[in-house]
Amino acid sequence: MRYRLAQFKWQLPLCALMTALLAACLWNPGKTGVDIVSLDRSTFVTSFGAITSILALFCSISIAFVLFVSQANKAERISAYDTFKARLLETQKWLLTQPHSQDREICLSLVFELDKLDITDLPQTDYGDEYRRYTTALDAGLDDETEERRVFFLTSVMYFGYIEHLLSRIGLISIRQIITRTFIDTLAKGIGVICIAVAALLAATVWYSEATKQWLVVISIFCGIASLFLFYEFFLNVYRYYNEELDFIEKSSDEERS
Protein backbone atom coordinates (compact mmCIF):
# COMPACT_ATOMS: atom_id res chain seq x y z
CA MET A 1 0.00 0.00 0.00
CA ARG A 2 2.82 2.40 0.81
CA TYR A 3 4.17 2.09 -2.72
CA ARG A 4 0.74 2.61 -4.27
CA LEU A 5 0.57 6.02 -2.61
CA ALA A 6 3.63 6.97 -4.68
CA GLN A 7 1.89 6.20 -7.99
CA PHE A 8 0.06 8.88 -9.95
CA LYS A 9 -2.92 6.63 -10.71
CA TRP A 10 -3.58 6.40 -6.96
CA GLN A 11 -2.47 9.88 -5.97
CA LEU A 12 -4.82 11.80 -8.25
CA PRO A 13 -8.06 10.02 -7.19
CA LEU A 14 -7.14 10.19 -3.50
CA CYS A 15 -6.20 13.84 -3.80
CA ALA A 16 -9.44 14.64 -5.61
CA LEU A 17 -11.49 12.68 -3.05
CA MET A 18 -9.90 14.40 -0.06
CA THR A 19 -10.31 17.79 -1.74
CA ALA A 20 -13.97 17.05 -2.45
CA LEU A 21 -14.58 16.10 1.19
CA LEU A 22 -12.98 19.30 2.44
CA ALA A 23 -14.87 21.30 -0.20
CA ALA A 24 -18.11 19.81 1.10
CA CYS A 25 -17.16 21.10 4.54
CA LEU A 26 -16.69 24.58 3.08
CA TRP A 27 -20.12 24.53 1.43
CA ASN A 28 -21.79 23.41 4.68
CA PRO A 29 -20.23 25.66 7.33
CA GLY A 30 -23.18 25.28 9.67
CA LYS A 31 -22.71 21.52 10.08
CA THR A 32 -18.91 21.32 9.95
CA GLY A 33 -17.93 24.55 11.70
CA VAL A 34 -15.66 25.60 8.85
CA ASP A 35 -15.85 29.34 8.32
CA ILE A 36 -13.87 31.32 5.74
CA VAL A 37 -16.00 34.44 5.84
CA SER A 38 -13.21 36.45 7.47
CA LEU A 39 -10.59 35.19 4.99
CA ASP A 40 -9.40 38.22 3.04
CA ARG A 41 -7.23 38.46 -0.06
CA SER A 42 -3.94 39.20 1.73
CA THR A 43 -4.32 36.33 4.19
CA PHE A 44 -5.16 33.90 1.43
CA VAL A 45 -2.29 34.99 -0.81
CA THR A 46 0.17 34.89 2.11
CA SER A 47 -0.83 31.41 3.30
CA PHE A 48 -1.10 29.94 -0.19
CA GLY A 49 2.17 31.60 -1.18
CA ALA A 50 3.87 29.87 1.76
CA ILE A 51 2.68 26.48 0.51
CA THR A 52 3.89 27.32 -2.98
CA SER A 53 7.30 28.40 -1.63
CA ILE A 54 7.71 25.12 0.22
CA LEU A 55 6.77 23.21 -2.92
CA ALA A 56 9.25 25.25 -4.97
CA LEU A 57 11.96 24.40 -2.43
CA PHE A 58 11.02 20.74 -2.77
CA CYS A 59 11.40 20.96 -6.56
CA SER A 60 14.82 22.57 -6.25
CA ILE A 61 15.94 19.76 -3.92
CA SER A 62 14.50 17.21 -6.35
CA ILE A 63 16.43 18.75 -9.24
CA ALA A 64 19.67 18.55 -7.24
CA PHE A 65 18.97 14.92 -6.31
CA VAL A 66 18.14 13.94 -9.90
CA LEU A 67 21.37 15.53 -11.14
CA PHE A 68 23.35 13.79 -8.40
CA VAL A 69 21.89 10.36 -9.16
CA SER A 70 22.17 10.69 -12.94
CA GLN A 71 25.76 11.96 -12.82
CA ALA A 72 26.80 9.28 -10.30
CA ASN A 73 25.35 6.52 -12.50
CA LYS A 74 26.94 7.99 -15.61
CA ALA A 75 30.37 8.24 -13.94
CA GLU A 76 30.11 4.68 -12.62
CA ARG A 77 29.10 3.40 -16.07
CA ILE A 78 32.07 5.11 -17.74
CA SER A 79 34.43 3.81 -15.04
CA ALA A 80 33.16 0.23 -15.49
CA TYR A 81 33.53 0.52 -19.27
CA ASP A 82 37.12 1.77 -18.94
CA THR A 83 37.93 -1.13 -16.62
CA PHE A 84 36.28 -3.48 -19.12
CA LYS A 85 38.50 -2.21 -21.96
CA ALA A 86 41.62 -2.42 -19.79
CA ARG A 87 40.80 -6.00 -18.83
CA LEU A 88 40.31 -6.91 -22.48
CA LEU A 89 43.79 -5.56 -23.23
CA GLU A 90 45.29 -7.64 -20.42
CA THR A 91 43.50 -10.75 -21.72
CA GLN A 92 44.77 -10.10 -25.24
CA LYS A 93 48.36 -9.70 -23.99
CA TRP A 94 48.12 -12.98 -22.08
CA LEU A 95 46.70 -14.85 -25.08
CA LEU A 96 49.46 -13.55 -27.37
CA THR A 97 52.05 -15.10 -25.03
CA GLN A 98 50.41 -18.53 -25.38
CA PRO A 99 51.47 -21.08 -28.04
CA HIS A 100 49.48 -20.95 -31.24
CA SER A 101 46.46 -23.26 -31.10
CA GLN A 102 42.84 -23.41 -32.11
CA ASP A 103 41.77 -22.72 -28.52
CA ARG A 104 43.90 -19.59 -28.42
CA GLU A 105 42.39 -18.38 -31.69
CA ILE A 106 38.87 -18.90 -30.32
CA CYS A 107 39.72 -16.82 -27.26
CA LEU A 108 41.37 -14.11 -29.35
CA SER A 109 38.34 -13.96 -31.62
CA LEU A 110 36.13 -13.40 -28.57
CA VAL A 111 38.44 -10.65 -27.31
CA PHE A 112 38.37 -8.87 -30.68
CA GLU A 113 34.58 -9.22 -30.84
CA LEU A 114 34.10 -7.76 -27.35
CA ASP A 115 36.57 -5.00 -28.10
CA LYS A 116 34.26 -3.77 -30.87
CA LEU A 117 31.58 -2.92 -28.32
CA ASP A 118 31.22 0.78 -27.66
CA ILE A 119 29.73 2.10 -24.44
CA THR A 120 26.53 2.90 -26.34
CA ASP A 121 26.27 -0.77 -27.37
CA LEU A 122 26.02 -1.96 -23.78
CA PRO A 123 24.28 -3.69 -22.18
CA GLN A 124 23.63 -6.62 -24.49
CA THR A 125 21.93 -9.94 -23.88
CA ASP A 126 23.62 -11.73 -26.79
CA TYR A 127 27.38 -11.48 -27.36
CA GLY A 128 27.36 -13.32 -30.65
CA ASP A 129 28.68 -16.53 -32.13
CA GLU A 130 32.22 -15.98 -30.83
CA TYR A 131 30.96 -16.11 -27.26
CA ARG A 132 29.07 -19.34 -27.91
CA ARG A 133 32.14 -20.85 -29.60
CA TYR A 134 34.20 -20.01 -26.53
CA THR A 135 31.72 -21.53 -24.07
CA THR A 136 31.55 -24.70 -26.17
CA ALA A 137 35.36 -24.94 -26.28
CA LEU A 138 35.49 -24.19 -22.55
CA ASP A 139 33.22 -27.11 -21.70
CA ALA A 140 35.28 -29.42 -23.84
CA GLY A 141 38.59 -28.06 -22.55
CA LEU A 142 37.75 -28.43 -18.87
CA ASP A 143 36.77 -32.07 -19.47
CA ASP A 144 39.84 -32.77 -21.59
CA GLU A 145 42.39 -35.26 -20.24
CA THR A 146 45.27 -33.09 -21.38
CA GLU A 147 46.50 -31.10 -18.40
CA GLU A 148 47.94 -28.29 -20.51
CA ARG A 149 44.59 -27.63 -22.18
CA ARG A 150 42.72 -27.72 -18.87
CA VAL A 151 45.15 -25.23 -17.34
CA PHE A 152 44.75 -22.95 -20.37
CA PHE A 153 40.98 -22.82 -20.05
CA LEU A 154 41.08 -22.51 -16.27
CA THR A 155 43.29 -19.46 -16.70
CA SER A 156 41.04 -18.10 -19.43
CA VAL A 157 38.07 -18.38 -17.07
CA MET A 158 39.86 -16.05 -14.65
CA TYR A 159 40.21 -13.42 -17.39
CA PHE A 160 36.86 -13.80 -19.12
CA GLY A 161 35.00 -14.31 -15.84
CA TYR A 162 36.06 -10.86 -14.67
CA ILE A 163 35.15 -9.40 -18.06
CA GLU A 164 31.69 -10.96 -17.81
CA HIS A 165 31.36 -9.53 -14.30
CA LEU A 166 32.12 -6.06 -15.68
CA LEU A 167 29.52 -6.51 -18.41
CA SER A 168 26.94 -7.50 -15.79
CA ARG A 169 27.91 -4.47 -13.73
CA ILE A 170 27.37 -2.18 -16.72
CA GLY A 171 23.98 -3.81 -17.23
CA LEU A 172 22.95 -3.15 -13.61
CA ILE A 173 24.10 0.46 -13.86
CA SER A 174 22.05 0.84 -17.04
CA ILE A 175 18.98 -0.44 -15.20
CA ARG A 176 19.60 2.09 -12.44
CA GLN A 177 19.84 4.84 -15.06
CA ILE A 178 16.44 3.80 -16.40
CA ILE A 179 14.97 3.76 -12.87
CA THR A 180 16.17 7.36 -12.45
CA ARG A 181 13.13 8.30 -14.52
CA THR A 182 10.99 7.80 -11.41
CA PHE A 183 12.75 10.77 -9.79
CA ILE A 184 12.10 12.83 -12.92
CA ASP A 185 8.42 11.85 -12.83
CA THR A 186 8.20 13.06 -9.23
CA LEU A 187 9.84 16.34 -10.20
CA ALA A 188 7.47 16.76 -13.16
CA LYS A 189 4.45 16.31 -10.89
CA GLY A 190 5.86 18.87 -8.48
CA ILE A 191 6.32 21.40 -11.28
CA GLY A 192 2.76 20.72 -12.43
CA VAL A 193 1.37 21.46 -8.96
CA ILE A 194 3.45 24.66 -8.80
CA CYS A 195 1.98 25.79 -12.12
CA ILE A 196 -1.55 25.27 -10.74
CA ALA A 197 -0.64 27.13 -7.56
CA VAL A 198 0.90 30.08 -9.42
CA ALA A 199 -2.16 30.31 -11.67
CA ALA A 200 -4.42 30.33 -8.60
CA LEU A 201 -2.33 33.05 -6.95
CA LEU A 202 -2.52 35.22 -10.05
CA ALA A 203 -6.25 34.65 -10.23
CA ALA A 204 -6.60 35.59 -6.56
CA THR A 205 -4.89 38.94 -7.12
CA VAL A 206 -7.44 39.83 -9.82
CA TRP A 207 -10.68 37.96 -9.17
CA TYR A 208 -10.70 37.44 -5.41
CA SER A 209 -14.25 38.02 -4.19
CA GLU A 210 -16.98 36.36 -2.16
CA ALA A 211 -18.07 34.44 -5.27
CA THR A 212 -14.62 33.05 -6.08
CA LYS A 213 -13.21 32.73 -2.57
CA GLN A 214 -14.39 29.19 -1.96
CA TRP A 215 -13.12 27.95 -5.33
CA LEU A 216 -9.69 29.46 -4.73
CA VAL A 217 -9.58 27.82 -1.30
CA VAL A 218 -10.50 24.47 -2.86
CA ILE A 219 -7.63 24.85 -5.35
CA SER A 220 -5.25 25.65 -2.50
CA ILE A 221 -6.46 22.57 -0.61
CA PHE A 222 -5.85 20.42 -3.69
CA CYS A 223 -2.31 21.79 -4.06
CA GLY A 224 -1.61 21.27 -0.37
CA ILE A 225 -2.75 17.64 -0.41
CA ALA A 226 -0.85 17.01 -3.65
CA SER A 227 2.26 18.46 -2.01
CA LEU A 228 1.96 15.99 0.87
CA PHE A 229 1.77 13.09 -1.59
CA LEU A 230 4.81 14.43 -3.46
CA PHE A 231 6.83 14.76 -0.25
CA TYR A 232 5.96 11.18 0.63
CA GLU A 233 6.86 9.97 -2.87
CA PHE A 234 10.20 11.78 -2.78
CA PHE A 235 11.05 10.32 0.62
CA LEU A 236 10.13 6.84 -0.61
CA ASN A 237 12.30 7.23 -3.73
CA VAL A 238 15.28 8.36 -1.66
CA TYR A 239 14.75 5.52 0.81
CA ARG A 240 14.62 2.91 -1.93
CA TYR A 241 17.69 4.37 -3.67
CA TYR A 242 19.90 4.29 -0.60
CA ASN A 243 18.45 0.97 0.54
CA GLU A 244 19.77 -0.55 -2.70
CA GLU A 245 23.23 0.83 -1.88
CA LEU A 246 23.14 -1.11 1.40
CA ASP A 247 22.62 -4.47 -0.30
CA PHE A 248 25.25 -6.07 1.96
CA ILE A 249 22.97 -5.64 4.98
CA GLU A 250 20.43 -8.34 5.70
CA LYS A 251 16.91 -7.11 4.98
CA SER A 252 13.53 -8.18 6.28
CA SER A 253 11.05 -10.01 4.04
CA ASP A 254 9.00 -6.83 3.50
CA GLU A 255 12.05 -4.90 2.31
CA GLU A 256 13.07 -7.71 -0.02
CA ARG A 257 9.62 -7.73 -1.66
CA SER A 258 9.85 -3.97 -2.22
Side chain identity, residue 114: L
The total number of structural domains in the chain stands at 2
Task: Provide the residue range defining the domain that includes 212.
Answer: 4-26+40-73+180-246
- Residue 249 is predicted with a pLDDT of 59
Cα–Cα distance list, 24 to 96, 193, 203, 247, 251 (Å)? 81, 22, 22, 47, 44
Q: What is the DSSP string of 166-233?
A: HHHHHHHHHHHHHHTHHHHHHHHHHHHHHHHHHHHHHHHHHH-STTTHHHHHHHHHHHHHHHHHHHHH
- Residue 157 is predicted with a pLDDT of 94
Task: Please say which residue of 178, 204, 221 terminates a domain.
Answer: 178
Same domain, 191 and 63: yes
- Residue 109 is predicted with a pLDDT of 94
CA proximity to 218, closest of 18, 45, 72: 18
Same domain, 185 and 170: no
pLDDT by residue, tens only, the chain of 258 residues: 677 888 888 999 999 999 999 888 888 776 667 777 788 899 999 999 998 999 999 889 888 888 888 898 899 999 999 999 999 999 999 999 999 999 999 999 999 999 999 999 888 888 889 999 999 999 999 998 889 999 999 999 999 999 999 999 999 898 888 888 888 888 899 999 999 999 999 999 888 988 888 899 999 999 999 999 999 988 888 887 777 666 655 555 555 555
